[in-house]
Structure 1
Amino acid sequence: MSYEKTKQLKSLISEIKQQDYLILVGIILIPLIIGIFLVKSAKQKKNDLLKLKETFIHEVEKENKALITELTDIYNNINDTYFTYHKKSSTIAKCNLCLEELQFISKNKALFSSDFNNFISKSIYIITELKNNFQTYDNTAFVEKRILEYDYLFKKSPFPLDKYQKVAVVTDDTHNLVVAGAGSGKTEVLITRAAYLIERKPDTIDSKRILVLAYQNKAAREVHERLDSRFGFDVKIKTFHSLGLEILKEANRNSDIDTLQIVDETEQQRLVLSVFNEKIKDNKFQNDIINYMKAYGDSEICKSKYDFEDKETYYEYMRNLTYTALDGTIVKSEAEREILNFFVTHDLNEKRVKVLYETPAEWMVYKKEDGETRAPGPDFFFPDYDIYLEHWALDKYGKVPEWFKGKNPTEVYKNGMEQKKKKFAEQDKYVLVETTHKDFKQNNFIEILEDRILIALKKKNPGKTFEFTQISYEKLVNRVWNECVVSVRSLPTNIGMFINIAKTYNLTPDEIEQRIKNEPWSLKQTEFANVALKIYLSYENKLRSENKIDFSDMINLAVRKLKQKEYLYKNCFDHILVDEYQDISQQRYELIKSLMDKNDGCKLFCVGDDWQSIMGFSGSNLDFFVQFAQYFDHPAVTHLTVNYRSCKSIVDTGAEIIRHNGNVQIAKDALAHNNTLEPIRVYISIHNTKFVNNYYTQVAQHCISTIDTYLQNGYNPQDIMILSRIANNPKLKNKLHEYASACNVPISFEKKSWNKIRFMSVHASKGLQARVVFLLNVVEGLYGFPSEKDNPDIFELATKGRKKDTEEEERRLFYVAITRAMENLIIYSQIDSESKFLGEIENHVIVEKLQN
């Protein structure tokens, strides 16, 4: 029964009851004239209502018979297609609504004939039975029947699909997520799924109404070739970017869209570099970069006392704060950092000033109250000039900050000050320069510092002239600490990445600027964003002036057009299939969602492995996978648990790695089809971080020698792969190349490699495999695992959602590296710098030290 008719029937019954009440009141009032009129009027109105009721009874019978027929047909045909959650839910909702109205009528059966009441009772019984059948129905039997029926499809793969893969193909809810593992055949499942949709009966799908989305052109071509060669089917297979461009062309027919030039990744990098090289000529922009360099070592978001529950916790936080100067020295206050940075950025008489921080002054040794001897470490010492600089933490009131320890911190601090100053007064060799926190709060602190140092220099060297001069930008870049140098040299690349991520989250330069102002960030993040924003603005202006769009624009503009134009891609697709869904980003999600909204009844099928989500640096957001149900409600989730690539020892080791990521990943079984337990060997170089050249030499020699042994024993070069977290490590690559050439071992350091051993980054290896994998440089540090070279924290201003844990993604990347190996895995590390990841798999590996 429709909602409106139900409402009218309820109103009708209510009015009939009202007239009965008025008749009763009228009978009571018959002695009065008004009673007679009341009875007559109520009876007349009731008769009219009863006539109307008969019309409604007829309509109720008609509608309920139609509904029972509809529900019965659904139930009778329930095994002809998959009974989706949404179909089941809406069908049960229909039953509930109808039962509610029928039961309302049943409660008022005195108003109806016995025949109608019998009809109502029978209807309640039938619909209740149907409802119970719908509620208890599941698709297990249907899935098993379909698996048997379409077994011939599953055998067309080079390796016939297993039970888990078949279930994933046939499961056909509105929203479907296939949670796969490494080497579990997820692409095979996606291809067979497309073939199954076209081949199945009676619910066949027109191939033109199927859309497959892949991430790379290579993957799209692979899906197309396999689908065509095995099944002879042709469906629309697109990358997200090419689909975006297609949508733009469709939305802008008869416009100048075809004159737009598409900027690919290489051209984008060139454009960003071009804008950067132009900007770097400007002193103001150089100064922005210098500010970033000064903040590079300070990644923590500064907190105020209002962020803490009590004073003591805040005081402890303040006492433990550290600051990194431009030369990499870690100091204890902003003022100390400012002081040290002055001597890094300025030369004295055209020479760099040597500064030692908190170096014990043996000549100041004294005995403490407990009898222990102590050599104080004044803040700064200039050994070439016999000058010390002490920065006292005294404010304009002569007090120390409130977080200093002790009952009388100022008194204790001043006593220590006086002891040091007394020691200086008792000798003639060294001069003491003093600054205070009060000085630091002055706008001219650097001038105060410079003046006092110059006075001390002239006192020590009468008649000699001294002058501080600021060094050039290029000279400063070469002078700062190594990790900061790498970051500055990588600025164009990192800014390009920042722009890509911002566009992935559809954040404009104006929105980035607002985020800098309104949200809490570390100084490092703010200063990087200030640099990146200037390039972003100029880059966007350059694109528009040259009538160009980049890859990210393709998707963002396509989503905008889909939302603006109702007709665009309306009712085009019945099924959308997405490969590598673990790498989904905000903009790609928006594109999928917009297409789903445009196509009523369209079904979504996503396959991926959250354990291999390693594209966070380019804007992918793991939440879309792990929290799939929040974005696409009530999905059917199936698991591919068997790894057909790797032997058991490698599969077990991979699972152990991910276990340390905790609840970030979806828990799942990882089973090996090959139960062989090949030993995983970790070789530790005996050369520590002080002897980098010896370390790379030893690793390269052992790696190439071991590869040569494999080749001598019948392995082909394509059976072997060499991986490194960071492939662009010149020292390591040069050593490998040197020893490979000497031993006549064919190694390719390029993407294309025919009959050569492949050397590549772990990121580039995703989707590939080899019988033997050599994993180099599993150490801490800049080029290690987890890597310190990449700086995800500087990209956070360009993202939305939760703060990404760098270590989690690095661990997933380690998992990807491990699971490229089919049979043998050899890992190299360093004696004093072993990666923490190795400690997490210590029960799965055999560790040996490399000997000279």
Structure 2
Amino acid sequence: MSYKPHFLGRYFGNRFEEVHLDDSGLVLVSIDQKPTELAWKGVSRLAKHTPGIIFDKVVFESAGKTVSIGWLYKSSASSFTSLFTEKYYSHHCVSAEKALVKISAYLQKKGYLRSSHCKAISDFISKALVTIPLPSDDINLSIATKDTFSKLKCLAEFDASTIGGIRTRYISEQKQCYQRLFDSIESNPLTEKQREACIIDDDNNLVLAGAGTGKTSTMIGRVAYLLESKQAVGQEILMLAFGKKAALEMRDRVTEKLGNTSVSAWTFHVLGQMVISSVEGEKPSISPLASDEKLLNNHVDQWFSDLLEIQSYKEATLKYFEKHLFPEANPFDFKTQGEYFEYIRTNEIRTLKGEAVKSFEECLIANWLFAMGIEYKYELSYLESNTRTPDYKQYQPDFYLTEFGIYIEHFGVDREGNTAPYIDAARYNVGIQWKRQLHSKHTTQLVETYHYEQREGCLLSNLESKLVSLGVLFEPLPADSVLHTLREFGAISKFSLLLSSLLRRYRANCYIPGELERLADHVESTGQLKAAMDLLRPIIERYEALLKSNKEIDFEDMIAKAIGYIEDGSFTSPWSYILVDEFQDISKPRARLIKALRDSKKNTSVFCVGDDWQAIYRFTGSDVSLTTGFESLFGPAQITSLDKTFRFNNSINDVASQFVMRNTSQVKKQITTHSVVQEPAVSLVMKSLSDNDIFKATLEILKKIAGIAKQGACVYLLARYHFRLLEPKQLAQLTRSVPTLDIEQHSFHASKGKEADYVVILGLDNTKNGFPSRKLTDPLLEVLLPAAEPFPDAEERRLFYVAMTRAKHRCYLLTDMNKTSDFVKELLTDNYAIELNEFNSEESQLTAPEHECPSCKTGTLVQRKGPYGAFFGCTNYPLCSHKEKAIS
């Protein structure tokens, strides 16, 4: 079609004699008859019809330049614009149709619409729309052309709703298609959520399987579905477990349910060994040190002893013991005195002479005096005067220097005289004045040190200056003498064991060069960590040299070397589907290994099953944040929660779930139960408990269970630590006394993965080895473990969840309210739905919460006898000396 501007236009600057439009583009014929061809693909803007008084104008854009054709009659300009629009979109319609075909091919691929597919489609559409303009709804086009662009426009809005609709339809279709498989693969038909978890096949998949919700059934169902739907053959599936037993059980279940398949079911270490063998051409030899902890400890102890013969290493060790043996804590940072006492007690802070002291700063002073050769007595009664009264005990200054007759008092105040928040500052300062006056009255020499001196880094240097001014002579002990004392104290052998633990933890973390140093710069114990690393590094070097000389590897090498070979391309994964059991127990190196395997083969799917509520192995390097923050490591993922448990009833579920979810970082889950009861199924048993009383109270509970349970019902006795359970003789006596029950004992950790009809939880007290545990991880090991969660007792809280959810029917919590666990206090104060009256309790148990020590806040006042009669004293004595008169 051709259009000619009016001839008068040539006299008024019009450049064009004629314009031709066809399917290939436009030809502009200039006044001098030179043609210019413009292809439709170069046209970047539609023609715009601009009316004039007599003649109209059409303007469009091509190759970034504006083209103006004027002096057209209105009808010609209108026709030109319409034809221009038609030809323009007809040209792009061809590209749009090609794009639709490609997108359709993506969408029609067999299987679940993965996030990577969605991204590829979205990226393709975005790229296509750079060159394919979409017409507005008011543009007049043919029905076919309009339909093509309408479809493309719809796909351009490829949002979450569209993706969700496609996926939902796919899941529904697959559920129907494979209903028989899901109904029969396990002894009970899979739940709807289990079926969805089996079908959903994103690039990364996380199945959160609460206690008793059937995670193993889901794993087996997933494998069966992949094989039956022919999305995979056996050789393309890898199942990973953490222990040999779990891997073997997985393999046996697959064989039992699916027959002889070629599915691989391995531990991470077997996987690592296979990767290494594949790359190196031979199976690596495993060092006996890898599995024999005692043998490794002996080697480390010998290496440490040899290193102590080197003067520089010996001096570094003694400096470490003097300054860094215990983790420093500022007493002003604790909320209650009891919390500070707990820090002292759990860290077993003692001097180099083995004395238990009341503060970290006193320990520093004692160790410095010892190293400087100054004889002292700790808290010796004041020699010059008897200060005892009915209300106060004898005055005991912190230190007495026996050779010089000098007393040292360390005062816990800052420069303004302020004390820690739990100390009465006014009363404390009155006490300081009383001590000064007492020494002045008896003309005894008092040297004062202060908390603020330690915070300013001059405590010991100031003390040295003060003593020098009083004529004190120092005779620093030779290094060998100090070392001898440390050996007698047991500190050297204890530190040797710590070095062995640090060695294992350091290697298990598979640090990349410089990673630990960067970590050290961001932790409070930097000085202690760097000092310890200086002592550990020669141990590491000797260990690694031994492995190399023997041509052996350890379990840590299996993971680290495998990661290296996969990441550098030496090994390419043959697996398209990777299934990981107990994912909540994953460590960063193992997660890195999974990710490396996934990335080494295109279109690999990762399927992880776990429960962040049951993450209880941080001390082995497990990192719960890899579950709660799954997508931050692996990328976009589908997360499915198995929401129905077949183990325990609704009452146990309500208490355990509410308790664990107090930590807001735990993934929120709504668990329903197959078994429903109307009454509380968690019972609090409050009894006065000595060692013998524990046996009697446990027997009383078991007899109660025997009266309601079926013959042969299984009962677990559980505690935080195995040594808090009953002695073997006592267990045998219980079995004889209640023969209708099958009684077992387990620690909380050992009970994970097991179940019983009834559970009795022991050791629910607030002692160091009670529950929650107050044993602290050595601060050096703490640095090498995954970052601790900010929520108090986060992992201990999950342990309580694990312990309670071992029970099918009923859980009994046995405790002495005079020293009960903080967790029991929470159950009571926050009105959890627990049974309180199933057993008779003494009056002292019912009123015990009223006996909290008002001074330290963590101890309990118990009745004692003294030289002045009966009184109530704190259970934290001697750290807490608070007492009250007993009312007769």
Aligned residue number for residue 148 of structure 2: 123
Aligned residue number for residue 398 of structure 2: 380
Given that residues 701 and 739 in structure 1 are in contact (C-alpha distance below 8 angstroms), is that contact kept between their aligned partners in structure 2? no
Residue number among 597, 609, 614 corresponding to 1:612 in the alignment: 614
Aligned residue number for residue 68 of structure 1: 100
Given that residues 106 and 120 in structure 1 are in contact (C-alpha distance below 8 angstroms), is that contact kept between their aligned partners in structure 2? no
The reply to whether residue 817 of structure 1 matches residue 803 of structure 2 is yes
Aligned residue number for residue 309 of structure 1: none
Residue number among 253, 264, 287 corresponding to 1:236 in the alignment: 264
The reply to whether residue 548 of structure 1 matches residue 552 of structure 2 is yes
State the SS of the aligned residue for 2:811. Answer: strand
Residue number among 561, 567, 572 corresponding to 1:569 in the alignment: 572
CA 1:289 to 1:774, structure 2 compared with 1: closer, same or farther past 3 Å? farther
Shift, 1:184, TM fit: 0.6
Aligned residue number for residue 280 of structure 2: 252
State the SS of the aligned residue for 2:283. Answer: helix
Question: Match for 1:47: what amino acid?
Answer: E
The reply to whether residue 424 of structure 1 matches residue 439 of structure 2 is yes
What stretches of structure 2 of length at least 5 have no aligned partner?
A: 16-27, 44-83, 420-426, 845-888
- Partners of 2:33 and 2:358 lie apart in 1 by 97
Residue number among 91, 96, 117 corresponding to 1:87 in the alignment: 117
CA 1:618 to 1:716, structure 2 compared with 1: closer, same or farther past 3 Å? farther
Shift, 1:102, TM fit: 2.7
Given that residues 612 and 813 in structure 1 are in contact (C-alpha distance below 8 angstroms), is that contact kept between their aligned partners in structure 2? yes
Alignment of 1:670-685 (within 5 A): 670-676=671-677, 677=679, 679-685=681-687
- Partners of 1:384 and 1:668 lie apart in 2 by 65
Shift, 1:205, TM fit: 1.3
- Partners of 1:159 and 1:174 lie apart in 2 by 29
- Partners of 1:224 and 1:600 lie apart in 2 by 26
State the SS of the aligned residue for 1:103. Answer: coil
- Partners of 2:493 and 2:833 lie apart in 1 by 39
Number of equivalent positions: 739
Shift, 1:542, TM fit: 2.5
Aligned residue number for residue 539 of structure 1: 543
Given that residues 227 and 234 in structure 1 are in contact (C-alpha distance below 8 angstroms), is that contact kept between their aligned partners in structure 2? no
Aligned residue number for residue 731 of structure 2: 740
Given that residues 680 and 834 in structure 2 are in contact (C-alpha distance below 8 angstroms), is that contact kept between their aligned partners in structure 1? no
Alignment of 1:716-755 (within 5 A): 719-727=714-722, 729=723, 732=724, 736-742=727-733, 745=736
Q: For residues 792-842 of structure 1, what are the alpha-carbon distances to aligned partners after superposition, in whole Å with 9 as ceiling and x for unaligned?
A: 643233246666767101111121111112223233333432111112223
- Partners of 1:716 and 1:550 lie apart in 2 by 48
- Partners of 1:205 and 1:534 lie apart in 2 by 49
Residue number among 567, 585, 588 corresponding to 1:586 in the alignment: 588
State the SS of the aligned residue for 2:640. Answer: strand
Higher helix share: 1
Shift, 1:445, TM fit: 5.4
Shift, 1:539, TM fit: 2.5
The reply to whether residue 163 of structure 1 matches residue 178 of structure 2 is no
Q: Which moved more, 1:383-392 or 1:489-498?
A: 383-392
Shift, 1:96, TM fit: 4.5
CA 1:844 to 1:817, structure 2 compared with 1: closer, same or farther past 3 Å? same
Q: For residues 507-566 of structure 1, what are the alpha-carbon distances to aligned partners after superposition, in whole Å with 9 as ceiling and x for unaligned?
A: 269754565467542666566555554543433333223222211211111111112126
- Partners of 2:775 and 2:428 lie apart in 1 by 40
- Partners of 2:773 and 2:436 lie apart in 1 by 45
State the SS of the aligned residue for 1:664. Answer: coil
Given that residues 576 and 605 in structure 2 are in contact (C-alpha distance below 8 angstroms), is that contact kept between their aligned partners in structure 1? yes
- Partners of 1:594 and 1:651 lie apart in 2 by 38
Given that residues 261 and 549 in structure 1 are in contact (C-alpha distance below 8 angstroms), is that contact kept between their aligned partners in structure 2? yes
CA 1:646 to 1:386, structure 2 compared with 1: closer, same or farther past 3 Å? farther
Q: Which moved more, 1:586-595 or 1:432-441?
A: 432-441
Question: Match for 1:244: what amino acid?
Answer: G
The reply to whether residue 28 of structure 1 matches residue 54 of structure 2 is no
CA 1:52 to 1:455, structure 2 compared with 1: closer, same or farther past 3 Å? closer
CA 1:248 to 1:96, structure 2 compared with 1: closer, same or farther past 3 Å? same
- Partners of 2:556 and 2:239 lie apart in 1 by 19
Aligned residue number for residue 138 of structure 1: 166
Aligned residue number for residue 13 of structure 1: none
Shift, 1:628, TM fit: 1.4
Q: For residues 4-36 of structure 1, what are the alpha-carbon distances to aligned partners after superposition, in whole Å with 9 as ceiling and x for unaligned?
A: xxxxxxxxxxxxxxxx9xxx9998399xxxxxx
State the SS of the aligned residue for 2:770. Answer: coil
- Partners of 2:246 and 2:428 lie apart in 1 by 67
State the SS of the aligned residue for 1:656. Answer: helix
Q: Which moved more, 1:491-500 or 1:826-835?
A: 491-500
The reply to whether residue 270 of structure 1 matches residue 308 of structure 2 is no
By relative contact order (CA 8 Å, sep 6+), the higher-ranking structure is 1
Given that residues 779 and 835 in structure 1 are in contact (C-alpha distance below 8 angstroms), is that contact kept between their aligned partners in structure 2? yes
Question: Match for 1:176: what amino acid?
Answer: N
- Partners of 2:787 and 2:590 lie apart in 1 by 15
Shift, 1:276, TM fit: 2.3
Alignment of 1:761-772 (within 5 A): 761-772=747-758
Residue number among 344, 356, 363 corresponding to 1:337 in the alignment: 363
The reply to whether residue 794 of structure 1 matches residue 780 of structure 2 is yes
The reply to whether residue 355 of structure 1 matches residue 378 of structure 2 is yes
Aligned residue number for residue 35 of structure 1: none
- Partners of 1:776 and 1:168 lie apart in 2 by 37
What stretches of structure 1 of length at least 5 have no aligned partner?
A: 1-19, 31-37, 305-312, 367-372, 395-399, 407-411, 457-466, 688-694, 748-754
Residue number among 692, 699, 702 corresponding to 2:694 in the alignment: 699
Given that residues 765 and 771 in structure 2 are in contact (C-alpha distance below 8 angstroms), is that contact kept between their aligned partners in structure 1? yes
- Partners of 1:494 and 1:532 lie apart in 2 by 10
Question: Match for 2:624: what amino acid?
Answer: L
Instruction: Report the TM-score when normalising by structure 1.
Output: 0.73
Aligned residue number for residue 669 of structure 2: 668
Instruction: Report the TM-score when normalising by structure 2.
Output: 0.70
State the SS of the aligned residue for 1:605. Answer: strand
- Partners of 1:629 and 1:469 lie apart in 2 by 53
- Partners of 1:770 and 1:56 lie apart in 2 by 75
Aligned residue number for residue 845 of structure 1: 834
RMSD value over aligned CA atoms?
A: 5.1
Aligned residue number for residue 389 of structure 1: 407
- Partners of 1:45 and 1:56 lie apart in 2 by 20
- Partners of 1:265 and 1:718 lie apart in 2 by 40
CA 1:29 to 1:72, structure 2 compared with 1: closer, same or farther past 3 Å? closer
Question: Match for 1:390: what amino acid?
Answer: I
Question: Match for 1:28: what amino acid?
Answer: G
Given that residues 685 and 830 in structure 1 are in contact (C-alpha distance below 8 angstroms), is that contact kept between their aligned partners in structure 2? yes
Shift, 1:633, TM fit: 2.6
Aligned residue number for residue 46 of structure 1: 36
Shift, 1:150, TM fit: 1.4
The reply to whether residue 177 of structure 1 matches residue 206 of structure 2 is yes
Question: Match for 1:620: what amino acid?
Answer: S
Given that residues 763 and 814 in structure 2 are in contact (C-alpha distance below 8 angstroms), is that contact kept between their aligned partners in structure 1? yes
- Partners of 2:517 and 2:569 lie apart in 1 by 30
Given that residues 99 and 128 in structure 1 are in contact (C-alpha distance below 8 angstroms), is that contact kept between their aligned partners in structure 2? no
State the SS of the aligned residue for 2:647. Answer: strand
